[in-house]
A and B are shown apart, each in its own frame.
Chain A
Amino acid sequence: MDEKNRKKPEYDAGVVIQLVTRMMCPFIMMFGIYLITHGHLTPGGGFQGGVVIASAYILFALVFGKTEARAGASGFTLKCLASTGIYLYIGAGLAGIFLGYHFLANKAAGIFPCGMLGELLSAGTLFWIDIGVGLAVASIFTDLFYTFLEEKRDDVYIKNKKELPLKRRWSDVDRNDSE
């Protein structure tokens, strides 16, 4: 691509950090998915894996800027994923009720495969609850951080004609801009 036509990033962190982030992000996400899906076999679970996945998104937003980060994970998508996670949890609970057992009945209902002890698809509802919690936590933390990044309070001060308390917030820093 032509160097002039390339869109100028809002925040240039430097080649080294960008390259390392590009290499690290998939592995961080893979580790998070491992923590979520193996939550009933190894230490870890939905909360921990979800936070690890969200940390990959936060790292991406810190290095490449908020616009490029939002291009991959819009607020609508993240809120849909968060709701899907919670509905997965509630649905796994309601399935027990519809089969004549109590809410969140696991082995007694026997809807989901229970398998052998130690297999991946073994713990009945626990596996699906883990995935639901992981989805919800990852998307909620990502959306929280991105929302705080996009917060605009400068226009409030401009409207009141007061001096800005900080010249610029760190998320708006442009390194190429010479003071």
Chain B
Amino acid sequence: MKKFLPALLFTFFAFTMIAVIMRFVPIGDPHLPGYADFIASDVTKAKVIEKADSVALHYARNGSLDTGALDIIAATIFDYRGYDTLFEVTVLFTSLIGVLSVIGTKES
């Protein structure tokens, strides 16, 4: 039973992740939103870049409308990239735990 449960959990998560990967867009597709800006830069015309529907342009234009934050950087790191910031704080907390486990005293 002890070995069966982790195997079941592993199978479940592996199946879920593979199912998500199957639904990914193909890597290197030039029509992806992130690549559009790169393609338009070949033309070196500002108007073409304006038309391009890139992710960065979307953040710059709709950042405060999407999130309600006036600061575009706060909108990016706390809303669009919320997972990143969450695990940054978790990494900091883990570093504290590591330091305490090596040189921490009993009362601290």
* Interface set of A (CB-CB < 8 Å, partner B): 39-43, 45-47, 70, 74-75, 79, 82-83, 85-86, 89-90, 93, 103-104, 106-107, 114-115, 117-118, 122-126, 129-130, 132-133, 136-137, 140, 143-144, 146-148, 150-152
Contact = CB atoms under 8 A, between A and B. Distances in A.
B79 A104 contact: yes
Contacts of A115: 68
Nearest to B94: A140
Interface residues of B, number: 31
B75 to A, nearest CB: 7
Contacts of A93: 82, 86
B99 interface: yes
B105 to A, nearest CB: 6
A145 to B, nearest CB: 10
A79 B83 CA distance: 22
Contacts of A126: 67-69, 74-75, 78-79
Given A130-B74, A147-B104, A148-B103, A123 B92 contact: no
A104 B78 CA distance: 9
Contacts of A136: 89, 92-93
